[in-house]
Amino acid sequence: MADYDFHQLSPDDLEILARDLLQAHWGVTIESFKTGKDGGIDLRYAVGTGKIIVQVKHFVRTGLAGLMRELSKEAAKVRRLKPTRYVLVTSVPLSAVNKDAIVALIGADLLTPSDVIGQEGLNNLLGQHPEIEGKHYKLWLASRAVLDRVLHNAAVTRSEFKARQVHDEARRYVQSGAYPQAQKMINEQRVVVVAGPPGVGKTTLANLLLYEHLARGFQAVVIQRDIEEGLSLFQPGTPQIFYFDDFMGATFLGDRSSALTSTSDKALLEFIAMVRSTQTARMVLTTREHIYSLAMDKSERLRHSDIDDLRVYLRMPDYSFAQKARILYNHLYFSDLPEEYQDELLRDDCYLRIIKHEKFNPRLIEWLSSFRRIRSVAVRDYQTFIDNLLRDPSEIWRHAYEQEVTDAGRSMLLVLFSMGGKAAGVALKPAFIKLHEHRAKRYGFATRPEDFKSALREIAGTFIKPFGTHGVEVIDPSVLDLLNAIVRRTPENAIDVVAAAHNFDQIEHVWTFAKAQSSGAVLEAFRHNDGPIAASLAQRMTEGRRIDMGKGAVGYRGPTFERRLTVVIDMADRLGSSSIASLIAPLFARLQQEWITERPDINDGVDALRALDGARSVDPVTLDAMTAAIKAALLEDVQDGCRSDELRELIGVIDTSDADADAALSPARAAFDAYCAGTFQDELRECRSREQFDGLVEDLELFRDQLGVDVSSLLTRVEEAKGEFEEHEDAYADHMQDEYKERWRDERASERSVSDMFGSLREDRS
């Protein structure tokens, strides 16, 4: 018979185990509840007028005394529920006398001794239903008996495997489809490769597989250096499991003395083939996905082998809301965090912010639940620490970026930084080549013709994911957090990107980043490197935007010349750079040339006027001439028609108190007439919210007040359209109300059950 003490399970784990055991034993389907949803019921089976209520109590810390204290509070609640049968399940060891005392406490009319299932009863049920024991692999992986066998085998094999550490990991592990998948792979193929990005639990999963095999009597061979080490310890006929954590990383990044050679990949594949052909051998390997991609790119043998068929890939989207909740819960339940820190995390539902956060990551959870890592954080600052870690978990990615990614991979990531984390394929390759060659020349590393493709393969699935048809974007917002932190810490990266920019967009993005309050060091680096920056600006700022798409179609790329002028003026002023200031006049000349064939951009032109207003880097005479020329071009253009936002912005830079105001107001009024005749109806039709209708009203009232025009009929049409919209919106809201309420109830029920699960952290305290 099984002999578990169930200390390896959290209260939530125990409840799920009890449900599965009772379902199997009674042959029925049992509903799971939480106290917040159904008044004290953990599990329920109802049929006809009968109602069986099951409560599950863990109390591994305070034992029988804690259980009895809790039951004294529960007795009245159970009686109010009026069950036809009440069953109590607990992991606490119970004697016959203990059961009688519990029955007396609850009431013999509601509870019988046979319906009090303690530690011995749970083990008895596990013996009767071994399939449930097999399903709950965490139960036996983290048991004391298995730990004893593991410790014995670890000592026999003299491996460096830290069995006790993995025993603790197993207690925190949340059962998911990854473990059975990996277990099936290693049982059928004898080899499994666990791959994925940093922090998703690759090593934990591999450790559990190794741990399980040690419990089954396998000898562990933990490979520390290279595959030759495993080959020298191979013993045909002896049950052995070979464990190689990060098996590709050190070899293919050159961390070991043996870099990838013509024989290292051959030796690896031959060893894998030998393990797969040996009945008594098993092998588990882990690899970071970007390193795996890099190795596949370097080795033709690996690409043509079947190693990819042995891979189990872990990724963050595999975790549901409930699984994320249990990951955090288990880490806290089995952590060394003092009670006051746990209580602080429970305050104001802080744990829900963690679970719902887009940057949720098991490694991050390990950080925030480890007292060793947060002991310097005062309890009152713990939530702030958590919020900061969630906002910028860059430490989790930093090691991979600095130690595990090639120069080509870093060049690719810096290009993505300069493009805001997302790039279309047509823009990515030339930008990469330019920056990579610049960095190679500056820092003295070699480049290869295939660096672009290899860099993409290297960081795919770890740092980046596909976007659109041929583009890529960062896989997670925390990757951008990392890149932002790296550039702030080492501003030379920002200078490299600007100096080697392929297009003006990159310069503008990095400049916007440099101006941020937290990027003072980057802005200072700009001041000391204005020469290379000016040289890059001179190349990029005058490049054409127009693209002939064929068949008479025309497209445009990059920021407008009005926008470019605004950026260059801003850079010259903020940096006090004469080199950059000298570029303003030729850029303005290029802007005037553009106006010969292209319409000016109204909003960007207004921004340029605002940048010129008080610009220190332009002499007064030139400044006045530029301002007059831009204003004249905008006023001439709007007379052919414009949008309300464009007319609104243009009015904002017209000085109506000026003696020559009529010269500007006359074309502005002509623009309003053209707007009424054409664009107004389109904008009214495009309004999709109350806020959009109200915004249109505000614009019309501004035109009335500033231009002296009649807008009464237009306001009437807006109010009528808004009324029709609100009528349809209310009807639609009524139609969707029932569905919305049901969805809201489901979402709240899910959060409520999680809240009750975390509330149990306060129970079972001495």
Q: What is the mean pLDDT of residues 224-228?
A: 74
What is the token pair recorded at 370? 């480890």
What are the phi and psi torsion angles at 161 (to 5°)? -70, 125
Tokens of 446: 């070699």
**Predicted model pTM:** 0.58
Write the single-letter amino acid at 18: A
* Single-letter residue type at 119: Q
86's enclosing H/E stretch is strand 85-90
Answer yes or no: do 588 and 634 share one domain. yes
pLDDT at 302: 81
pLDDT for 602-624, tens place per residue? Answer: 999 999 999 999 899 999 999 99
Identify the pLDDT of residue 269. 86
Position 528 confidence tier, pLDDT thresholds 50, 70, 90: very high
Q: Which amino acid is at 24?
A: A
Give residue 292's pLDDT band: very low, low, confident or very high (50, 70, 90): confident
- CATH number of the domain where residue 62 is located: 3.40.1350.10
Domain identity same for 265 and 288: yes
Q: Identify whether residues 123 and 198 lie together within a single domain.
A: no
Identify the top-confidence range among 13-17, 39-43, 747-751. 13-17
Residue 149 shares a structural domain with residue 270: yes
**How far is it, in rounded angstroms, from Cα 555 to Cα 32?**
58
At a CB cut-off of 8 Å and minimum separation 6, what does 654 contact? 631, 661, 664, 665, 668
Higher pLDDT, 644 or 219: 644
Percent of all residues in the chain with a pLDDT value above 70, rounded to a whole number:
83
608 shares a domain with 585:
yes
Average pLDDT over residues 531-553: 90
Task: Return the percentage of the chain with pLDDT > 90, whole number.
Answer: 41
Evaluate whether residue 656 is within a structural domain: no
143 and 283 share one domain: yes
657 within a domain of the structure (yes/no)? no
Closest CA to 315 of 456, 195, 174: 195
Q: What is the total count of domains within the chain?
A: 6
Which is nearest to 536 in space by CA: 495, 592, 591, 565?
Answer: 495
Sign of CA dihedral 170, 173, 176, 177: negative
Residue that terminates a domain, selected from 333, 359, 391: 391
In CATH, what number is assigned to the domain containing residue 179? Answer: 3.40.50.300
Confidence grade of residue 36 (pLDDT, cut at 50, 70, 90)? very low
DSSP SS3 for 99: helix
487, exposed or middle or buried, with CB in 10 Å at 0-12, 13-18, 19+?
A: buried
Residue 198 is which amino acid?
P
281/238 Cα distance (integer angstroms): 8
Give the pLDDT mean for 312-337: 78
The tokens describing 364, both together, are 């991050």
Contacts of 437 (CB under 8 A, 6+ apart): 447, 500
- Spatial CB neighbours of 105, under 8 Å, sequence gap ≥ 6: 68, 71, 72, 75
Q: Give, in order, the Cα–Cα distances in Å from 527 to each of 536, 552, 642.
A: 15, 45, 39
Same domain, 146 and 206: yes
Which pLDDT score is estimated for 160?
42
Question: What is the sign, positive or negative, of the torsion defined by CA atoms of 6, 9, 15, 20?
Answer: negative
Residue 39 has pLDDT above 60, yes or no: no
Q: Which of 282, 297, 317 is at the close of a domain? A: 317
pLDDT in tens, 144-195: 566 666 556 555 454 444 556 666 666 777 766 678 888 889 999 999 988 8
| 209 plus 305 within the same structural domain | yes
Q: Pairing between strand 43-47 and 50-57? A: antiparallel
Task: Return the pLDDT at 542.
Answer: 95
The DSSP output letter for 678 is: I
In the sheet with 50-57, reading across from the earlier edge strand, the strands are: 31-32, 43-47, 50-57, 85-90, 116-117
194 with 311, same domain: the answer is yes
pLDDT value at 750 more than 80: no
In this structure, how many other beta carbons lie within 10 angstroms of the beta carbon of residue 97?
A: 8
Q: Is residue 654 part of a domain?
A: no
In this structure, the answer to whether residues 161 and 236 fall within a common structural domain is yes
Residue type at 8 in one-letter notation = Q
How many whole angstroms separate alpha carbon 374 and alpha carbon 385? 8
Distance CA 102, CA 108 (A): 9
CA distance linking residue 549 with residue 493, whole number of Å: 35
Residues contacting 267, CB < 8 A, separation 6+: 226, 227, 228, 231
**Is 384 among the domain residues?**
yes
Higher-confidence residue of 423 and 688: namely: 423
Distance from the first to the final alpha carbon of the chain: 31
pLDDT given for residue 543 in this prediction: 93
**8 A C-beta contact, residue 452 and residue 429:** yes
User: Quick one: 498 and 413 in the same domain?
Assistant: yes
Judged against a pLDDT cut of 60, whether residue 548 lies above it is answered with: yes
Q: Token pair 């004893």 is at which residue? A: 148
Exposed / middle / buried, residue 733 (Cβ in 10 Å: 0-12, 13-18, 19+): exposed
Name the residue range of residue 574's domain: 529-638
- Token output for 597: 């064939």
Domain boundary among the residues 134, 167, 193 is at 134
- How does the average pLDDT of the chain come out, rounded? 83
Q: Is residue 585 pLDDT above 50, yes or no?
A: yes
How many residues does this entry show for the chain?
Answer: 766
Whether the predicted pLDDT of 540 surpasses 90: yes
Longest dimension (CA), the chain: 103
SS3 of 733, please? helix
Q: For residue 126, give both structure tokens.
A: 């596990």
Phi-psi region of 650 (alpha: psi -120 to 50; beta: other; left: phi over 0): alpha
What count of other Cβ atoms lies within 10 Å of the Cβ of residue 260?
17
Sign of CA dihedral 89, 91, 93, 98: negative
CA distance 437 to 535: 17
The residue type at 3: D
Q: What is the pLDDT of residue 645?
A: 92
Same domain, 149 and 124: no
Residue position matching structure tokens 């990757």? 479
Q: 333, 335, 327, 314: which is closest to 355 by C-alpha? A: 327
d(CA 24, CA 415): 57
Residue at 576 is within a domain: yes
